[in-house]
Amino acid sequence: MPTYQKTEEALAKLSPEEFYVTQNSGTERPGTGALLKNKAAGIYVDIVSGEPLFASSDKYESGCGWPSFTKPLEPANVAELRDASLGMMRTEVRSTHGDSHLGHVFDDGPRDSGGLRYCINSASLRFVAREDMEAKGYGDYLDQVEDVA
């Protein structure tokens, strides 16, 4: 089992926006994220630690301006914390091992898929295409990723 963690080397490779989002709990502007319109088969991992977070098969178009998922690929890698910033109560989502700010989870997702919407910043994610998963150490998740027709 791989070890996922935040390292100085990984942090040094982040763009200013990736650092702002993951390390300072920032938010990218809606509609600007590189992964928002991605429809390829694969998984989304923490850009800092590499821990698996979400599968393309659980991604959907919510219209909110950020990539949206119905559930985590590996629930143990996604921590949920109370967030009272901005004068409202929300649930922040952070990666467990990398402690990266990912976004927030809301209860307005598709009812037939559990009712949750994980609203995630593209800047906190790295996409690993299905055809690259085995070579990059994510082969254990191949059965959870559907091929795109």
Residues serving a catalytic function are: 119
Token pair of 41 as six digits: 């088969």
Please choose, from the candidates 90, 144, 141, 137, the residue with its C-alpha nearest in 3D space to the C-alpha of residue 118: 90
CB atoms inside a 10 Å sphere around CB 89? 9
SS3 79: strand
Sheet strands side by side (includes 59-60): 59-60, 68-69, 117-120, 101-106, 90-95, 78-83
Question: Tokens 């080397």 label which residue?
Answer: 9
- Backbone phi, then psi, for 42, in 5-degree steps? 160, -160
